[in-house]
Structure 1
Amino acid sequence: MSLHLFDSASRSVREFHPVRNGTASIYVCGPTPQGPPHIGHLRGCALSYDVLRRWLLHKGLTVTFVRNVTDVDDKILTKAAEHDTSWWEWSATYERAFESAYDTLGCLPATITPRATGHITQMVELIQRLIDRGHAYAAAGDVYFDVRSWGEYGALSGQRLDEVQQGETAAEGKRDPRDFTLWKGARPGEPSWPTPWGPGRPGWHLECSAMALTYLGDEFDVHGGGRDLIFPHHENEFAQSRAAGDAFARFWMHSGLVGLAGEKMSKSMGNVVSIPEMVRRVRPQELRYYLVAPHYRSTIEYSPEALEESVRAYQRIESFVGKVAARTGSVEPGEVGREFTAALDDDLGTPAALAAVHTTVRAGFTALDTGDDAAARAAAATVRARLGVLGLDPLAWSSTSTVDTSAVAALDVLVGELLEQRQRAREAKDFAAADAIRDRLLTAGITVEDTPDGPQWTFKDS
């Protein structure tokens, strides 16, 4: 279908062919809701794959999108105990926070959001299959995957077996420190479920394999997540699923991380930029633009200056579409065009896709300036179509936008007259008068940016 995606397992860009014609199946590792979401979470398990999903929908495929919730985990149990609350209440509270953040940034709702605790039966069945095939063993109430039994172990992450460190503590009966836990035996005060090997709770890696199998079958199209999940989580998923006899994912996709001062953004480092805090600074669509604009596999180094630059870029697009709609009436989305299509077909190349958007916006502003309303309207239709694929269509966000497009036409005339006065003052080298006009507009809530296409105005961010 001409779409090519980078596959982490083969370390190459390959052409995407869905397992089943006319459909696409995506499993994304969702949150372990131990605390509030930050922008790193939203990029890693939501926005990158929301763009993929929207592009597949644009191509006419029916998409099944599964994003799980790891609702029982060591970190959740620890946090809940520290705050003297039940683990399930703690998990549910922050699960809702994640769902709210997805909705705030315009992510399409998942087809289903399975919780780990709702799939214990499927996990037990998967463990039994692994034991029967000689790839897992029970010891002192725990069950482990025997990494030496699977000759392909390390294929996804590229690690050699003698380099592997699972990050798990030593335990009675564990044959090899590189073996990873499928099932954790019950401990005092912790939740547990009955199994043939004794009561306990699932290991993190086991959960995703079982839930992906349940909803997408033994072979599906894309498994996604943040790059930090490649090892050990995705390596272990890959190993246990293939060892159980399942083809599992055709593509493994990994989104780049969000950093701050050169470090990965994480709760443990305390350098978290939360979604509620961010949307107090900028509008949700502007934050989405900031996180979607770089290539999904690249690392974003967060800074207020970079965010502000993205805000200005998005507002310029928004201003253009708003002005055209106000001048010519309703503008319906058109065709996305070859340049945009080629960009997204090349491993979701959002930088090139947005470059095509800005090229069209520049041409559209020129058409507005020369009075060619038909050309401006055609440009706006193309821009709307392209931004719709990226979840950034300004008119689709109009209910949360501070821009009143019904008033833009009249305001554009008034501001235009002031900008003409400012330009005459600049040509006469009366810079004090030019700055005074700019300051008057700023006081009125309007910012002016001097561009190669002439001065452009937008509403000041509130």
Structure 2
Amino acid sequence: MTVRLYDTQTQTLRDFAPLDPANVTVYVCGPTVQSAPGIHHLRAALAFDLLRRWLTRRYGRVTFVRNVTDIDDKVLLNATEREPWWALAYRMEQEFNRAYAAIGILPPTYEPRATASIPQMQELIARLIDRGHAYAEGGDVYFDVRSWPAYGALTHQSIDAMEPSADSDARGKRDPRDFALWKGAKPDEPADAVWQSPWGPGRPGWHIECSAMSARYLGAEFDIHGGGLDLRFPHHENELAQSAAAGDAFARYWVHNGLVTVGDQKMSKSLGNHLLAGDILAQHDPLVVRYALGAAHYRSNLDLTPASFDEASAALERIRTFQQRAARTLGTATPLVAADLPEAFAAALDDDLGVPQALAVVHETVRAGNAALDAGDRDAAARALVEVGRMTGILGMNPADPQWQNDGDAGQTRALDALVHTMIAQRAQARADRDWAAADRIRDAIAAAGIVLEDSADGTYWSLSDG
């Protein structure tokens, strides 16, 4: 068993060798909670939820840290007199957590807020100043990019080719590319968004937060640093530079998920194509959203269209229909089978988390299971049922899992079941009366509603059609 991951820094597929095979350590950049989550936030969180689930399967334990940036320029900008920055940040954090939970993303092992690690950030800044890689000027502290020859190592850029850093005022910078580690207090910012420091009152810069929190919760060296592709520069580049310059080994593997596009355009509020997670979850079943966001390879850009959710719904219905049919046919006398994960499924996930290939194995197993049911091969059908449950369970996409059931759905299903069975009974009576015209009308009405009937020796059963 060898897990391989694409390392953004080396731009190669690398065999994954954790520092401690009994405890894989992962740090993922979480949300900056200045506004409600977009669908791209869910896609990013889901990519690392899937990775975490597979690493847990392979190694047994994963310590997974996802931070919350609750102090930032944008958080302060979006605050109002009626809703202070800290109240806005908390409300948005809760919205993110609800959206994550809705699509089955596991809660992190630790979820630190930036405002709870200010002392650790100040200690890291002091180390950088002592080592000659940062300087204080007028209440601000900046990282001196030209003092660190390896700056640009993550994204393979030269300093002179980089754009000036836009994360702070240029008032005290020695080089326009230097970035802020500490931002001096400003008269127009809230007094409660200020902390005392050796360089004067102020607040941390964005980049220093993750370096300090990852070291606090995972140590100076850890296995995987993850985040969206758009965070590579400047955020992750700056994290790597300041942590390495301070003497920390930092992340051993860099893993980035692709972006979400709409109509092949990057999502943007200015383009009017910004899809809010809440709106999508109100329109689609959460499991359908999880499947639609997770079915593409995590490194690819995902172009979302209405068809994306239709295809996900149809795929899940094929799985669900097989599970229901197999459970109905096998009943309580399900044969005892020795079934584990198909080798092709495990191999797909070992190979840079190949979820598309793993799902192909799921659907092939569903097809084989249906064929076994048709042939009356109970052992093969039972084996397929177990395998499908285990595979979709690892992916968090098992339609039979109770987490995807809710009272509203159950009530609607019961009502629909009663109506369909009434029509099935009427059709059976018409056939018994040899009223073939009436039987055909009922059959056509059922088909027009998108319902498929399956006649068997022990009765007639229904399911929703893929179309």
Counterpart residue identity of residue 394, structure 1: P
Q: Summarize the Cα distance change of 1:446–1:136 in structure 2 as closer, same or farther, 3 Å threshold.
A: same
Structure 2 equivalent of residue 294 of structure 1: 296
Q: Summarize the Cα distance change of 1:133–1:308 in structure 2 as closer, same or farther, 3 Å threshold.
A: same
Whole-angstrom distance in 1 between the partners of 2:92 and 2:452 = 38
Cα shift at 1:448 = 8.4
Counterpart residue identity of residue 131, structure 1: I
**Cα displacement string for residues 19-77 of structure 1 (whole angstroms, at most 9, x for unaligned residues):** 11311001000001111112110111x10111111111111321100000000111111
Whole-angstrom distance in 1 between the partners of 2:121 and 2:236 = 16
Structure 1 residue 396 and structure 2 residue 396: aligned? no
Structure 1 equivalent of residue 162 of structure 2: 164
Whole-angstrom distance in 2 between the partners of 1:122 and 1:417 = 72
Q: Summarize the Cα distance change of 1:74–1:441 in structure 2 as closer, same or farther, 3 Å threshold.
A: same
Q: 1:338-417 maps to which residues of 2 (within 5 A)? A: 338-397=343-402, 400=405, 402=409
Structure 1 equivalent of residue 433 of structure 2: none
Structure 1 equivalent of residue 89 of structure 2: 91
Cα shift at 1:282 = 1.9
Whole-angstrom distance in 1 between the partners of 2:453 and 2:172 = 70
Whole-angstrom distance in 2 between the partners of 1:23 and 1:457 = 46
What is the aligned counterpart of 1:440 among 439, 446, 449? 446
Whole-angstrom distance in 2 between the partners of 1:145 and 1:309 = 48
Cα shift at 1:417 = 12
Cα shift at 1:242 = 0.6
Q: 1:30-179 maps to which residues of 2 (within 5 A)? A: 30-44=30-44, 46-81=45-80, 84-165=82-163, 166-179=165-178
Whole-angstrom distance in 2 between the partners of 1:392 and 1:218 = 35
Structure 2 equivalent of residue 452 of structure 1: none
Superposition CA RMSD, Å = 3.0
Cα shift at 1:211 = 0.2
Whole-angstrom distance in 1 between the partners of 2:425 and 2:342 = 31
Structure 1 residue 273 and structure 2 residue 275: aligned? yes
**Cα displacement string for residues 329-373 of structure 1 (whole angstroms, at most 9, x for unaligned residues):** 467994111100110000000010000111000111111222222
Whole-angstrom distance in 2 between the partners of 1:15 and 1:357 = 25
**Cα displacement string for residues 132-176 of structure 1 (whole angstroms, at most 9, x for unaligned residues):** 111000011000000001111111112211111222454222100
Structure 2 equivalent of residue 199 of structure 1: 201
Q: Summarize the Cα distance change of 1:417–1:275 in structure 2 as closer, same or farther, 3 Å threshold.
A: farther
Q: Name the SS for the 1:31 alignment partner.
A: coil
Counterpart residue identity of residue 67, structure 2: N
Structure 2 equivalent of residue 21 of structure 1: 21
Q: Name the SS for the 1:59 alignment partner.
A: helix
Structure 2 equivalent of residue 186 of structure 1: 185
TM-score (norm 2): 0.87
Q: Summarize the Cα distance change of 1:41–1:232 in structure 2 as closer, same or farther, 3 Å threshold.
A: same
**Cα displacement string for residues 234-289 of structure 1 (whole angstroms, at most 9, x for unaligned residues):** 00001101111111001100001111122222445432222222222221111101
Counterpart residue identity of residue 119, structure 2: T
Q: Summarize the Cα distance change of 1:241–1:439 in structure 2 as closer, same or farther, 3 Å threshold.
A: farther
**Cα displacement string for residues 376-425 of structure 1 (whole angstroms, at most 9, x for unaligned residues):** 111010011111111111221465264779x99xx89x97998xx9xxxx
Structure 1 equivalent of residue 434 of structure 2: none
Counterpart residue identity of residue 4, structure 1: R
Counterpart residue identity of residue 105, structure 2: C
Whole-angstrom distance in 1 between the partners of 2:224 and 2:4 = 12
Whole-angstrom distance in 2 between the partners of 1:302 and 1:110 = 27
Whole-angstrom distance in 2 between the partners of 1:75 and 1:92 = 14
Q: 1:171-250 maps to which residues of 2 (within 5 A)? A: 171-188=170-187, 189-190=189-190, 191-250=193-252
Larger Rg: 1 or 2? 2
Q: Name the SS for the 1:252 alignment partner.
A: strand
Question: Does structure 2 conserve the Cα–Cα contact (< 8 Å) formed by 1:105 and 1:285?
Answer: yes
Q: Name the SS for the 2:59 alignment partner.
A: coil
Whole-angstrom distance in 1 between the partners of 2:311 and 2:441 = 22
Q: Summarize the Cα distance change of 1:168–1:274 in structure 2 as closer, same or farther, 3 Å threshold.
A: closer
Whole-angstrom distance in 1 between the partners of 2:441 and 2:279 = 33
Q: Summarize the Cα distance change of 1:278–1:439 in structure 2 as closer, same or farther, 3 Å threshold.
A: farther
Question: Does structure 2 conserve the Cα–Cα contact (< 8 Å) formed by 1:256 and 1:296?
Answer: yes
Whole-angstrom distance in 1 between the partners of 2:290 and 2:42 = 9
Q: Summarize the Cα distance change of 1:71–1:269 in structure 2 as closer, same or farther, 3 Å threshold.
A: farther
Q: Mark the runs of 5 or more structure 2 residues left unpaired by the alignment.
A: 431-436, 455-460
Whole-angstrom distance in 1 between the partners of 2:322 and 2:338 = 14
Whole-angstrom distance in 2 between the partners of 1:8 and 1:144 = 26
Question: Does structure 1 conserve the Cα–Cα contact (< 8 Å) formed by 2:451 and 2:464?
Answer: yes
Cα shift at 1:297 = 0.2
Counterpart residue identity of residue 150, structure 2: E
Cα shift at 1:435 = 9.5
Cα shift at 1:374 = 2.2
Q: Mark the runs of 5 or more structure 1 residues left unpaired by the alignment.
A: 422-429, 450-455
**Cα displacement string for residues 68-120 of structure 1 (whole angstroms, at most 9, x for unaligned residues):** 00001111111113x74200000000100001111111011110110000000
Counterpart residue identity of residue 437, structure 1: R
Moved more, 262-271 or 122-131: 262-271
